[in-house]
Amino acid sequence: MPEPIKLFVRYVDKMNYGVGRFAMYLIFPMGAILLYSTVMRLILGYPVNWALEMTQFMLSAYYLLGGAYSMQLDAHVRMDLFYSNMKPRTRAITDSITILAVIFYLCVLLGGGISSTNYAIVYGQKNYTAWGPPLWPIKVVMCIGIFLMLLQLISTFIKDVAIARGKPIA
């Protein structure tokens, strides 16, 4: 593989590793917010209307930003009926074909996400709850997460093609 492609693969893998490690620690503030909400409601009798929704937003960021990291570590769910019995080269060819379908899907999803984010920013879209937070921040995170997943899929595709050719990228 040419050096710029290897550099792209290394950069994308390193970036998604860092973002994934960051996203992994979002579980702690989510737990803290839910604990705070529980203490305020049950012990002090003061309900906190923003806590559950904020935790939902953080959970969305957690799995959207962690998707590329999961793909990088090969920790995502897959149907393993035939896959585990395949040789590494056959797996790489199979992955290369299926990744193209996922790349197409993510391109369409990213287009819709950008459109939805633009709408939320232009019209000041807010959630229909008592707290009523603006929706653009989580939609921006959604687009970033989809874009990072798309980059990781391209990186994985390049690595799979290299394996299929018998020249894996280290």
Cα 34 to Cα 16, 21, 118: the distances in Å are 28, 22, 31
**CA–CA gap between residue 145 and residue 159 (Å, rounded):** 21
* DSSP assignment of 43-63: IS----TTHHHHHHHHHHHHH
What confidence score (pLDDT) does residue 168 get?
Answer: 87
Q: Is the pTM of this model over 0.95?
A: no
Instruction: Give yes or no for a contact between 23 and 69, defined as CB atoms under 8 angstroms apart.
Output: yes
Q: CA dihedral in degrees (43, 47, 48, 52; nearest 10)?
A: 90
pLDDT in tens, the chain (170 residues): 889 999 999 999 999 999 999 999 999 999 999 999 999 999 888 888 899 999 999 999 999 999 999 999 988 777 778 888 889 899 899 889 999 999 999 999 999 999 999 999 999 999 998 899 999 999 999 999 999 999 999 999 999 999 999 888 86
Instruction: Give yes or no for a contact between 160 and 96, defined as CB atoms under 8 angstroms apart.
Output: yes
What confidence score (pLDDT) does residue 170 get?
Answer: 67
**CA–CA gap between residue 83 and residue 80 (Å, rounded):** 5
What confidence score (pLDDT) does residue 78 get?
Answer: 72
